[in-house]
Amino acid sequence: MNLVRTAMLLAFMTALFMGVGYLIGGQSGMLIALVIAAGMNFFSYWNSDRMVLSAYHAQEIDEANAPEFYAIIRRLSQNAGLPMPKVYLYDSPQPNAFATGRNPENAAVAASTGLLNRLTAEEVSAVMAHELAHVQHRDTLTMTITATLAGAISMLGNFAFFFGGRRDSNNPFGFVGVLVAMIVAPLAAMLVQMAISRTREYEADRRGAEICGNPLWLASALAKIAGAAETTPNMDAERNPATAHMFIINPLSGERMDNIFSTHPNTENRIAALQQMAAGGQMNHSTEPVAPAKPTRKARSVPAAGWGRGDNQPPKGPWS
């Protein structure tokens, strides 16, 4: 149903785009806006991973410097049938994580130091399984298409502002059509874009629970992350609010409402869905539960400065 809903929302946004083009009164402006918006998003699609990882000062890790965390990602990738992604850590006290990359073969997953400090190994596994579900579902591509259409609609609204009021324009609805193209259509496109983002989060929760093998691990992780995000700011996210939809929980302060302007579903609703999934035994038994790093225990503190130790000795991993 989530896939059907996403398809319907994309179809609505496409129809909205065509409608705004009709209101402006010509195909030339519509095509120009689409080409420019597509070009901008094509560049973003191929470079978004580097741009986002750079914005959060993420550092790539491997089996040598974070063996337990890296092993968790490897087991999850095998469970999901995905190629091993690049693995990153970024320094932030706010527990959170995101995935990026244009396709499963060029994917990257990133976790904050706060995530490793505050969550158990099982909960970390569930969070990263959620991010791998985004990779498997190619949600980066879905959101790029959505952003292309939303950007084109906003650009058409600007065209309507500059050219819609001309006497020689072909706008069949006059000034009312200009107002719709300028204000209503871009707002509607933004709302649809956010609705698609919320839908993809529910789907990633479901598949992530299957990948890690236990929906309650993810439910517990979401509760902890949401609680910490309310009191622990992520300054890099505040400077880059356009990346908020990438995270498992909205990293921005003051964005906790579950409404049409939210990029994420209400956390309580997500937890309830996972609990219902666990109670109903709705699991894909083709995947084995991911065994947490042994011995299972709370993640210990990860030093902020390059995740190394003050004596400049190499780090042994987030749980070592």
pLDDT exceeds 70 at position 300: no
Residues with a catalytic annotation lie at 131
pLDDT digits (tens, 9 = 90+) for 255-269: 544 555 677 889 999
What does the pLDDT read at residue 83? Answer: 96
User: Residue 318 falls within a domain, yes or no?
Assistant: no
The residue segments making up the domain with residue 117 are 2-279
Name the phi and psi angles at 85, rounded to 5: -80, 170
pTM score, whole prediction: 0.76
pLDDT digits (tens, 9 = 90+) for 34-61: 777 677 767 777 887 888 899 999 999 9
Residue with tokens 């937890």: 271
Q: How many residues does the chain have?
A: 320
User: Residue 314 falls within a domain, yes or no?
Assistant: no
User: Residue 104 falls within a domain, yes or no?
Assistant: yes
User: Residue 158 falls within a domain, yes or no?
Assistant: yes
What does the pLDDT read at residue 177? Answer: 62
Reference 130, options 108, 86, 159, 98; nearest CA is 98
pLDDT digits (tens, 9 = 90+) for 288-299: 555 554 433 343
Beta bridge mates, 99: 109
User: Residue 14 falls within a domain, yes or no?
Assistant: yes
Does residue 218 or residue 303 have the better pLDDT? 218
Retrieve residue 208's tokens.
Answer: 């992530």
User: Residue 84 falls within a domain, yes or no?
Assistant: yes
Number of domains in the chain: 1
pLDDT category at 120 given cuts 50, 70, 90 is very high
User: Residue 290 falls within a domain, yes or no?
Assistant: no
User: Residue 142 falls within a domain, yes or no?
Assistant: yes
